[in-house]
Amino acid sequence: MKKRKIVLSIVAVAVFISSFVFFSPVAKSVESSWTVFYEVLDIVHREFVEKNVNTTDLIYGAIKGMLESLNDPYSRFMDPKAFGETKVHMKGEFYGVGIQIGMKNNILTVIAPIEGTPADKAGIKSLDYIVSIDGISTEKISLEEAVNKIRGQKGTKVLLGIRRKGEKEVLEIPIVRGGIKLKSVNKSKMVTDSIGYVQLVTFESKEATKEIEDAISKLKEKKFKGLIVDLRNNGGGLLQNAIQIASIFLKEGVIVQTVDRNSEKEIFSVVPRPVKVQSYLVILINEASASASEILAGAIQDHKRGIIVGKHSFGKASVQNIRPLSDGSAVLITIAKYLTPKGTDISKKGIIPDIESDFTTENIKVMSAPEYEYNEKDDVQLQKAISIMNDMMKSDQKSGKINKRQKLVTVNKNSD
């Protein structure tokens, strides 16, 4: 898939359309559709009961409808204001409630709240269903509409109707929007004398790779023998970050491959990085690990570089590109699907962990209490990762990591 920049003036577009109409049999259908569109636009302007109809709003509405007809929740239109907010968001500091949302089974779903944000403090949890926003049902609204309704100025309030998985009761949760500073690395520390731990909460920030490299460099000073990378509740982000971060852990080989509309594949391989990790590796994932998180976990799994622990991931296996438009608006369009290095399509299935680990009903009840403060000992998935890491480090130091990994996966699966 070649990168290309296309700049079209209105005249150029007109020439393209006229040429397309003249030469292409398919174009006659397109020309007919344009005719109908302009007929409707003219009827609205001449006959609609309210005279002050904004043409831009009509056009934007038509564009949104066009993208919604693709039945792809990730392709959407952003007006100039929304696009401006998105650009600020990517710089790592913005206003809002601090959640990543997506569509799961056609239901508006919280992929993950960002730790320490208004949404997190209000009690919003990964995989919560958002059934209403300010009293309006989300059943028939698009992802783009939901994003616009939840966004807002600092100090303003939004009311989210939340239904938890497996529960019928709807919780009405008010959230006051605030300033959000996006940090890619939320925690980095030694969890034992020999095991390092890094929690990566997003791939969205342009500083994500540098942040994790800095965190790993500091942990290296403490001479860790094994590293746990926590991707739970990480909703993903930039493809480039996933490739660079995977390159920290892999010596060589394919990280991910994308397939475009023409079935053409593009291979993304390991790139040079100033920081490399060759120690034992465990990756933690859950149902809210999505997109770039799945690229990283899939690459580690396919190359047998480490052990994947937790629950199957979200299953978002598509790549979007932002196409800025001439009036300051933009289209976010799905341009490809991605496959793991071995060619596995994880769409809607997710990455299946090597070793499954989940919270018990009692764990969830304790950790969901409003007064609860996080304690590593209650985190059964993290404790499982630490146990597996200890087993790896106790195994024969002379044997290869791949063999140790395969043996440990088998042993742990049989023991669960």
DSSP letters of 144-199?
HHHHHHH---TT-EEEEEEE-TT--PEEEEEEE-EEEE--SEEEEEESSSSEEEEE
Question: Which H or E element spans position 137?
Answer: strand 136-137
Domains 83-91+93-181 and 185-415 equal at CATH topology level: no
- Token match 């199957």: residue? 312
In terms of CATH, what superfamily is 185-415? Answer: 2-enoyl-CoA Hydratase; Chain A, domain 1 (3.90.226.10)
Going from the C-alpha of 17 to that of each of 13, 23, 167, 247, 326, the distances in angstroms are 6, 10, 52, 44, 18
Over residues 201-216, the pLDDT tens digits come to 999 888 999 999 999 9
Residue 408: the pLDDT is 52
| Gap between the Cα atoms of 346 and 353, Å rounded | 12
Six-digit token string for 296: 């990283």
Residue 138 pLDDT class (50, 70, 90 cuts):
very high
- HSE, side-chain direction, 13 A CA sphere, residue 211: 21
Which amino acids are annotated catalytic?
Answer: 291, 302, 316
- Token match 């991931």: residue? 313
The lowest-confidence range among 13-27, 105-119, 152-166, 242-256 is: 13-27
Going from the C-alpha of 238 to that of each of 265, 290, 292, 340, 403, the distances in angstroms are 19, 12, 7, 16, 32
Residue 28: the pLDDT is 64
Average pLDDT in the 346-367 region?
Answer: 83
Residue 398 pLDDT class (50, 70, 90 cuts):
very low
pTM of the complete model: 0.75
For helices 239-249 and 292-302, give the axis angle rounded to 10 degrees: 30
| Gap between the Cα atoms of 292 and 286, Å rounded | 13
Question: Which H or E element spans position 230?
Answer: strand 226-230
Residue 405, pLDDT > 60, answer no
Pick the CATH number of 83-91+93-181 from 3.40.50.150, 2.30.110.10, 2.30.42.10, 1.10.3720.10: 2.30.42.10
Over residues 312-345, the pLDDT tens digits come to 999 999 999 999 999 999 999 999 999 999 999 9
Six-digit token string for 30: 């397109």
For helices 10-23 and 25-47, give the axis angle rounded to 10 degrees: 130
Residue 20: the pLDDT is 37
Average pLDDT, the chain: 85
In this prediction, what percent of the chain has a pLDDT beyond 90? 60
Domain residue ranges of the chain, discontinuous segments joined by +: 1-46, 83-91+93-181, 185-415
